[in-house]
Amino acid sequence: MAESTRYDGKNIEVLRGLEAVRRRPTMYVGDLSDRELPVRLLMQALCHAADSAVDGECTCVAIRVDGAHVDIDYDAGMPLDPAAPNGDQVALVFLSALAGCHNRKRHLSVGDELCEIGLAVLNAFCASLRVETIYRGWAAVYRFEKGKQIGDAPIVESSERDRTSISFHLDNEILGANILFDRAGLNRSIDRVRQLLPELLIDIS
């Protein structure tokens, strides 16, 4: 075998965190030119809200879409445990571990229906993502750029009611310069959520 074609352990590159998704995005979502892909990614941000809605803990969701930027707010918090190491926080697992939100769901049937590829894959497809969550008297803010966590996310006491705010901007380095949300496709996807969870109020603008 010629030296130029030799393949051994030195050729293996171990990709950490969400870098594997960013380097091989089609392995996770298929065709990047699919006009419904932005909506599929957006729907992953409703993963935890839908899971919480089954137990009546989440009653309302607000979605705001502006170009490639999306803001989502709902009245349930992602689980936080001030006594657990940061890497073991359920909220952080949702955002950074592939299939993390699937594995930590309370209602797997909802996950099968609504959480197709997961919050972590959405995170990997974002130029920036910020999550602020308040859960049972504790609060944390997580920030990511291109799937990598920026800074620490200390868990602090809070007197506010449980809630979560997710803001993200899809990355045109992966999805191209003209990222558009198919409004008809988004409405269809939201209607499916409403059918599954009729008590959950969802507002879109």
Two tokens, residue 105: 């769901």
Q: Is the pLDDT of residue 155 over 90?
A: yes
- Do 124 and 18 form a contact (C-beta atoms < 8 A)? yes
Two tokens, residue 71: 């803001």
> Which are the contacts of 7, defined by CB distance < 8 A and separation ≥ 6?
none
187 residue type, one letter:
N
- Between 183 and 87, residue with greater pLDDT: 183
Q: pLDDT tens across 61-97, in order?
A: 999 999 999 999 999 999 999 888 776 788 898 899 8
Q: Percentage of residues in the chain with pLDDT exceeding 70? A: 85
* Model pLDDT, residue 106: 67
Q: pLDDT tens across 116-153, in order?
A: 888 999 999 999 999 999 999 999 999 999 999 999 99
Q: pLDDT tens across 37-69, in order?
A: 999 999 999 989 998 998 899 999 999 999 999
- Do 46 and 191 form a contact (C-beta atoms < 8 A)? no
Q: Is the pLDDT of residue 1 over 70?
A: no
Rounded Cα distance between 116 and 29, Å, is 10
> Which are the contacts of 23, defined by CB distance < 8 A and separation ≥ 6?
15
Q: Is the overall model pTM greater than 0.85, yes or no?
A: yes
* Model pLDDT, residue 108: 64
User: CA end-to-end span of the chain, whole Å?
Assistant: 60
- Element (DSSP H or E) covering residue 61: strand 60-66
Q: pLDDT tens across 2-45, in order?
A: 455 564 545 445 456 799 999 999 999 999 999 999 999 999 99
- Nearest to 90, CA basis, from 65, 116, 120: 120
Rounded Cα distance between 151 and 184, Å, is 37
